[in-house]
Amino acid sequence: AASKLEVSMPAVVEVEIGGTARIECNFYIPGNDSYTYIDWFYVSAGLGEDRVRLCHITDGEVLKEDTDYKERLSVGEDKALSISKVTMQDFRTFICQVGAGSSGVGENRTELRVYKVPETPEIEANPAGISVQSSDIPQIARCVSKNSFPPPNITWHKNGEQLQLQENQVKYTRTRESSGLYTVTSTMFAPVTREDRDSHYHCTVHYWLQGQRHALESQKVQITVFYPAEHLKLQVVPSSSLVKEGDNVKLVCESDGNPPPVFSFFKRELEDDWQDLSSLTEPDSGVLNLHGVNKSSSGLYRCQSLDLDDMTQLEKDVELVVNYIEGVHVKMEPSSPLWEGDSVTLSCDAHSPVALDYQWRDEKGKKVAEGNQLFLSNLTFETSNNFSCKVVAPSVPGLEQSKQVSVAVQGKPRIVAISSPLYVRQDEVVNLTCKAIAFPRPSVHWSVNGTAHEYVDNQHIASNLTVRVSHDLLRAGAMCRVSNELGVSEKHIQLLAQKTTPESQGVIIVAIIVAILVVAVLGAIIYFLHKKGKIPCGRAGKQDITRPEARKDKIVVEVKSDKLPEEAGLLQGANGEKRSAADQ
């Protein structure tokens, strides 16, 4: 056990500005005697240790002295001193003195430390940019820490690592505001390299609290670094291997300098002659636009850069190849006139800097063969007379050309269809049809007079002759004669008289009965409506029911020779003019 009065207090008490500080005073009196008094003091600033008593405590009574703390201090039941609304001026030493009669007097002290946590630091990078060729050490960034007490320390970091800066690389200023709090500013200076264009910088504020070090970090910033170009890159867009005639092409020139240099474009015309293409360049860019390129656009192009800071120049060349297909032609062997039954070989050729494929198509667009040759055998008039050779460059999408050739098969006319035999009646009007094929185009002649109409489809020709059946025509028939300079073809059309059969008479009787029934039904309906009052009587209500005029246009039916005689006869009967009463 202790043999004398002992007073124990914490060495340091920390409190944030505006808070309440509580300073404890614990004591021991030998023999468990009670204290006589307790006095609280603070040590005023000055050269000596001047004490100023704050309060005097006796058994059951607290006497506050007339000081600046009078309204802010209080004493607890454990005799601890509390100070509210702490300010920076409270950063001082406080003493607790205990008197215990015969046990004497004892005291101890506590240092009250006041603090204010700083705000998050603000960082600002050099807004003007920094040149790697700067002769002076340039300013990188500035860091500001506001409203702290006591003033904190600031460190600098690059890409997450703390920088060990020399004295001439940091400028440090500390300002005490009217509030008593501190604003601390740190400015960092350092040389830069090209790689620093991707570097990130930040600052950290360090302060102490309750014996531990704390830190606040700023945001990370980047700086603009200026450096001359070391390399140029010149490329064709789209890729030069895919460029074809008619395309729009861009030549894109890029440098690794900042800011970008001034670009110029040239095209080599002769060995040492370069054509300036700057008029085709997009303003303030390294892009050369070439619209609708052709074969002559191929060649060597040059991009030239000029750095306005140190006037250095760099050059880069690229070869532009414009793919094309030209000289497409088709050769026909034999080239002499072709006749039915002949064979012919069509050969297609073209010139291009890339490999070519060949396709053959007929006049309907259908692919008939691949390869640069097309062999046609046993030619006829029906053989398609127009073929096209399509030349395609597989390695260059969209690059293709076509050439058309006409294969004309010559020969004398061949009659392919004729309306014979034809069943007719005397005095009716009929159509005689004759269809032929030939090349050169033939002419058609008839052995009888009538109105002829001709229709031409490719190498086919059809002639329709409208005639009235006479006794002589019925007896002799008609001759169709088709001719060109290579020959003549003739065919005879036989006309046969058509007779009324019992079957046809039965059909007519049935038709008459049906017509009578229809008229009877209509009459009954009209009578019923009249009784119901739906049809008004009188002069105004009279209606004329007249028979419509018979149609005067005739239907022309073409009957070919492969029809049965009976079918042909019925068709011609329906096609003819109004029959006589004897025929009916």
Task: Note the pLDDT tens digit of each residue in 7-64.
Answer: 999 999 999 999 999 999 999 998 878 899 999 999 987 666 789 999 999 987 899 9
pLDDT at 524: 84
- Is 119-226 assigned to CATH 2.60.40.10? yes
Q: Quick check: 531 pLDDT over 50?
A: yes
pLDDT score for 107 = 94
**Percent of the chain at pLDDT exceeding 70:** 88
Task: Evaluate if residue 546 carries a pLDDT over 80.
Answer: no
CATH hierarchy code of domain 6-115: 2.60.40.10
What is the token pair recorded at 280?
Answer: 């085709």
CA 239 to chain centre: 20
pLDDT tens profile 276-300: 998 888 877 889 999 999 999 999 9
Structure tokens given for 554: 């005739």
Q: What is the pLDDT of residue 384?
A: 62
Q: Say how many CA atoms lie within 13 Å of 458 toward its Cβ.
A: 12
**pLDDT in the model for residue 251:** 93
Q: Is residue 379 within 8 Å of residue 407, measured between CB atoms?
A: yes
pLDDT band at 94 (very low <50, low <70, confident <90, very high): very high
CA distances from 438 to 171, 332, 465, 492 (A): 106, 21, 20, 19
Residue located via tokens 């201090």: 73
| Residues 342-360 pLDDT 10s | 899 999 999 999 999 999 9
Contacts of 43 (CB under 8 A, 6+ apart): 49, 50, 51, 52, 92, 93, 94, 95, 109
Lowest-pLDDT choice from 112-121, 306-315, 554-563: 554-563
The correct CATH number of 326-407 out of 2.60.40.10, 3.90.1150.10, 2.30.130.60, 3.40.630.30 is 2.60.40.10
Secondary structure of residue 196 in the 3-state scheme: helix
What pLDDT is recorded for position 508?
60
CATH topology for 411-497? Immunoglobulin-like (2.60.40)
* Residue-level pLDDT at 506: 63
pLDDT (0 to 100) of residue 527: 79
- Contact, 253 vs 324, CB < 8 A? no
User: Would you state the pLDDT for residue 32?
Assistant: 79
Q: Measuring CA to CA, how many Å separate 447 from each of 180, 442, 490, 497? A: 132, 16, 10, 20
3-state helix, strand, coil in the chain (%, to 5): 15, 45, 40
Give residue for tokens 């025929």: 583
Per-residue pLDDT at 271: 76
The mean pLDDT value for 193-198 works out to 92
Domain residue ranges of the chain, discontinuous segments joined by +: 6-115, 119-226, 233-320, 326-407, 411-497
Q: At 503, which helix (H) or strand (E)? A: helix 502-532
The chain-wide mean pLDDT, for the chain, equals 85
Judged on CB neighbours under 10 Å (0-12, 13-18, 19+), 130 is buried
DSSP H or E stretch at residue 571: helix 565-575
Q: List, in order, residues 6 or more apart from 127 with CB less than 8 Å away.
A: none
- Identify the band that residue 530 occupies on the pLDDT scale cut at 50, 70 and 90: confident
pLDDT tens per residue across span 382-405:
776 789 999 999 999 999 999 999
* Residue 304 DSSP symbol: E
Check if 6-115 and 411-497 are the same fold: yes
CATH no. of 233-320: 2.60.40.10
**367-370 and 357-362 strand pairing:** antiparallel
Q: What is the DSSP letter of 48?
A: S
Q: How far apart are CA 302 and CA 285, in angstroms?
A: 15
Q: What is the pLDDT of residues 217-273, one digit of tens each?
A: 999 999 999 999 889 999 998 887 789 999 999 999 999 888 889 999 999 987 778
Q: Which of 174, 125, 122 is nearest to 151 (CA)?
A: 174
Residue 527 DSSP symbol: H
Residue 545's pLDDT is what?
35
Cβ neighbourhood burial of 517 (10 Å; 0-12, 13-18, 19+): exposed
Using CA atoms, how far apart are residues 359 and 150, in angstroms rounded to an integer? 90
448, pLDDT greater than 50: yes
